[in-house]
Amino acid sequence: MRLNTLSPNKGAKHRTKRLGCGESSGHGKTSGKGHKGQKARAGGTVRHGFEGGQMPIYRRLPKKGFNNVAFGYKWAVINVGDLEAAFEDGMEINEVTLREAKFVKGRWDGVKILGNGELTKKFTVNVDRISASAREKIEKAGGKVDAGTPAAE
């Protein structure tokens, strides 16, 4: 099989409508756009939710309820198994080293270490949050944890 022998399945491709090519084209005169009106004009489309000038439903209905998502914290989450693979024994791990290792990218409110994976290397971990299982694994491997608060969230 070669690229030049590939072709689409039978019936998968259609001819394009040739609009504005006269009456005998099958799409003559108005080219399938009907008579006059905004949608018959060039560039004539209405935005999503437009109701012809009537007050749209999303403005007629009252705003209701409250969502706390905007006020919540967004944590960059890293597992101890990832730390095992990426860092050498005895390293200090903080947000700066995690950003250099490309574990943390973009804007976050803080860094949180979770306990998925196995850990055999000793690390000194200094992050904002750490789970109880991650703290246990790091200390069991001989490392030290200096985190903001244990995450009971």
Q: What is the pLDDT of residues 45-100, one digit of tens each?
A: 889 999 999 999 999 999 888 988 889 999 999 999 999 889 999 999 999 999 99
CA distance linking residue 124 with residue 133, whole number of Å:
16
Residues in CB range of 113: below 8 A, 6 or more apart:
78, 79, 80, 83, 125, 127, 129, 130, 131, 134, 138, 147
Q: Is 73-150 assigned to CATH 3.30.428.10?
A: no
Please provide the average confidence, as pLDDT, over all residues in the chain: 91
Annotate 90-116 with b (16+ C-beta within 10 A) or e (fewer).
Answer: ebebebebbeeeebbeeebeebbbbbe
Are β-strands 75-79 and 129-130 bridged in parallel, bridged antiparallel, or unpaired? unpaired
| Average confidence (pLDDT) over 134-153 | 80
Question: Would residue 26 be called left, alpha or beta, if left means φ above 0 and alpha means ψ between -120 and 50 degrees?
Answer: left
Residue 104 has pLDDT above 80, yes or no: yes
On whether the pTM is more than 0.75, the answer is: no
